[in-house]
Amino acid sequence: MIYGWMGKIADIDLTTGKVDIRDTTPYAHDYIGGRALAARIAWDEIPKGIDAYDPENRIIIATGPLSGTLVPTSGRTVMSGISPRVYPKPWYTHSTLGGWFGPQLKYAGYDCIVIHGRAHSPVYIEIIDEKIKVIDASDIWGLDARETQLMLKEKTGHQAQVLTIGPAGENLVRFSTVQHSEENAAGHSGFGAVWGSKNLKALVVKGSKGVPVAHPDALIQEVEKARTQKYSNIEGFLATEEENPPIHPICSQACIYNCSIIFYEKTKDGRRIPANCIGPVWTDTDAKWMHWTKYSGGGVEVPAGKHFEKEEEVQLHEICNSLGLDLWFRLVMQPWFIRCTQLGIKEIQGYSIEPENARWFEDFMYQLAHRQGLGDIFADDLRRAMDTLEGELPQELIYLGRELEFNFGFPAHREGRFFDGEPLPFWVISAMMHISTSRDPSIGTHLSSLLLAELPLADKELARKQFKILSKKVWGYEDALEPTFDRKAPVAIWSQNQHIIIDSLPLCDFAFPQLVRPIESREMWINIDDILGDLDLDLRFFSAVTGETLEREQLEKVAERAFTLERMVLARAGRTRKMEEQLAPHFQLPCRADGTSVNRDGFLKLMDEYYLARGWDLELGWPQEELLESLGLDEAVPELNDLRNHYFEQNHHV
Domain ranges of the chain: 8-206, 224-373, 426-623, 624-654
Does 338 score more than 90 pLDDT?
A: yes
> In 53-205, which ranges are continuous DSSP H helix?
101-107, 145-156, 167-170, 191-197
Helices 600-614 + 426-436 axis angle, to 10? 70
Q: Could you say which DSSP state residue 356 is in?
A: T
For residue 288, name the pLDDT band (cuts at 50, 70, 90). low
- What is the spatial distance between Cα 617 and Cα 563, in angstroms, rounded to a whole number? 16
Phi, psi (rounded to 5 degrees) for 206: -150, 130
Residue 612: its pLDDT value, please? Answer: 98
- What is the spatial distance between Cα 517 and Cα 416, in angstroms, rounded to a whole number? 25
Q: What is the mean pLDDT of residues 579-595?
A: 97
- What is the spatial distance between Cα 593 and Cα 615, in angstroms, rounded to a whole number? 32
Does 240 score more than 60 pLDDT?
A: no
Cα 152 to the chain's mean position, in Å? 27
Q: Tell me the CB-side half-sphere exposure of residue 156, using CA atoms within 13 A.
A: 24
- What is the spatial distance between Cα 88 and Cα 79, in angstroms, rounded to a whole number? 22
Residue 521: its pLDDT value, please? Answer: 77
∠27-32-34 over CA atoms, to 5°? Answer: 100
Assign domain 224-373 to a CATH class: mainly alpha
Least confident range of 9-23, 237-251, 477-491, 547-561: 237-251
Residue 276: its pLDDT value, please? Answer: 84
Q: What is the mean pLDDT of residues 64-79?
A: 97
Does 234 score more than 70 pLDDT?
A: no
Residue 654: its pLDDT value, please? Answer: 41
Exposure of 595 by Cβ count < 10 A (0-12 exposed, 13-18 middle, 19+ buried)?
exposed
Q: What is the mean pLDDT of residues 253-280?
A: 85
Assign domain 8-206 to a CATH class: alpha beta
Does 237 score more than 60 pLDDT?
A: no
Percent of the chain at pLDDT exceeding 90 = 81
Percent of the chain at pLDDT exceeding 70 = 96
> In 208-247, which ranges are continuous DSSP H helix?
216-226, 234-239
pLDDT in tens, 485-524: 999 999 999 999 999 999 999 999 988 998 988 887 788 8
Is residue 389 helix, strand or coil? helix
- What is the spatial distance between Cα 255 and Cα 253, in angstroms, rounded to a whole number? 6
For 110, residues 6+ apart whose C-beta sits below 8 A from its C-beta are 6, 8, 9, 10, 63, 127, 130
Q: What is the mean pLDDT of residues 169-175?
A: 98
Does 289 score more than 70 pLDDT?
A: no
Residue 400: its pLDDT value, please? Answer: 97
Is residue 227 helix, strand or coil? coil
pLDDT in tens, 445-463: 777 677 788 889 889 999 9
Does 481 score more than 50 pLDDT?
A: yes
Asked whether the beta carbons of 23 and 42 are under 8 A apart, the reply is no
Residue 242 or residue 554, greater confidence: 554
- What is the spatial distance between Cα 33 and Cα 78, in angstroms, rounded to a whole number? 9
pLDDT in tens, 318-336: 999 999 999 999 999 999 9
Residue 442: its pLDDT value, please? Answer: 83
β-pairing verdict for 262-266 and 131-136: unpaired
Phi, psi (rounded to 5 degrees) for 549: -105, 120
- What is the spatial distance between Cα 194 and Cα 120, in angstroms, rounded to a whole number? 15
- What is the spatial distance between Cα 324 and Cα 148, in angstroms, rounded to a whole number? 11
Q: What is the mean pLDDT of residues 48-55?
A: 97
Counting every residue written for the chain, the total comes to 654
Cβ neighbours around 229 below 10 Å, total:
20
CATH T-level assignment (fold) for domain 426-623: 1.10.599
Phi, psi (rounded to 5 degrees) for 299: 80, 5
Least confident range of 138-152, 474-488, 516-530, 616-630: 516-530
Asked whether the beta carbons of 184 and 510 are under 8 A apart, the reply is no
Q: What is the mean pLDDT of residues 384-390?
A: 98
Cis peptide bond upstream of 513, omega within 30: yes
Cβ neighbours around 23 below 10 Å, total:
13
Cis peptide bond upstream of 425, omega within 30: yes
Q: Say if 224-373 and 426-623 have the same CATH topology.
A: no
